[in-house]
Structures are given as structure tokens and as C-alpha cells.
């Protein structure tokens, strides 16, 4: 599966937007969490588009699929951290729901792309 550039992938674009929203939301976290949950949630969010981009730059669909599975894992990590931030009162229920909804949609997109990459191709 070839693309002109990773920036053309809608899943990359949406994960970048999610990451930017996370940076904005975590500015409100307590300062003592700067090296704790704030850092963790930001890193897991950044990892999603980063793995998509790196995987798309690989030579094979198999390699791309592997990086997409890593992006998917980072997305689950992100969701866990958002739920924790919500449960600790560091993020509003509404903001957490918004971020989790978008993460879920991105997860479905990643899963669909993985399935497409792993689908057997017909010899021409």
C-alpha cells in the first residue's frame, strides 16, 4: 500500500490533532504533575502519529503494520492515562469523554489500516 507521504493519511492527521488537543488540555494539570502524568499522557499521545509516520516510511506493508500496532498500543496507553486524569479530577468528565471518543475513532482507523495491509494480494 503506497502513499505519497504520511501526511496524506487521515489517521495521521487526526492523531496529530488529538495530540495538540492533549497538550492544550494538560496545561491545566497541577504543576507537580509536570514530570508525572502530564509527561506520560503527552508522550503516549505523541507516540501515535510518530509511529504512523515512521511505519509509513518503511519499505514494506508488513513493517508499516508493525508500527501501526505500536501506535495502537500507545493509543490504549493514552486512553488509560486520560481515564486516570479524569478519575483524579485533573480533567473534566466532558474533556475526557471528548478525547476518549476521538481516540476510539482513531483506533478504529488504525485497525482498519492494519487489516488492509495484512490482506493477501492477488498476483497480477
Write down the pLDDT at residue 111: 97
Does 27 reside within a domain?
yes
Q: Rounded mean pLDDT of 54-68?
A: 92
124 pLDDT band, cuts 50/70/90, is low
pLDDT at residue 8 is higher than 70:
yes
Does 124 reside within a domain?
no
Angstrom distance (rounded) from CA 107 to CA 52: 12
Number of domains in the chain: 1
Question: What are the percentages of helix, strand and coil residues in the chain, rounded to 5?
Answer: 75, 0, 25
Q: Which of the residue ranges 5-14, 32-41, 115-124 would you say has the lowest mean pLDDT?
A: 115-124
CATH of the domain at 93: 1.20.1440.60
| pTM, two decimal places | 0.91
Percent of the chain residues past pLDDT 90, beyond the cut? 85
Domain that holds residue 45: 6-118
Amino acid at each position: 500500500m503506497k502513499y505519497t507521504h504520511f501526511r496524506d493519511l487521515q489517521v495521521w492527521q487526526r492523531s496529530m490533532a488529538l495530540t495538540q488537543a492533549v497538550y492544550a488540555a494538560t496545561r491545566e494539570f497541577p504543576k507537580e504533575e509536570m514530570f508525572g502524568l502530564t509527561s506520560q499522557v503527552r508522550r503516549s499521545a505523541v507516540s501515535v502519529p510518530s509511529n504512523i509516520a515512521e511505519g509509513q516510511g518503511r519499505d514494506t506493508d508488513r513493517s508499516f503494520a508493525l508500527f501501526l500496532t505500536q501506535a495502537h498500543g500507545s493509543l490504549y496507553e493514552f486512553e488509560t492515562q486520560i481515564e486516570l486524569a479524569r478519575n483524579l479530577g485533573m480533567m473534566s468528565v466532558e474533556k475526557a469523554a471528548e478525547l476518549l471518543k476521538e481516540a476510539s475513532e482513531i483506533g478504529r482507523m488504525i485497525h482498519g489500516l492494519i487489516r488492509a495491509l495484512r490482506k493477501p494480494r492477488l498476483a497480477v
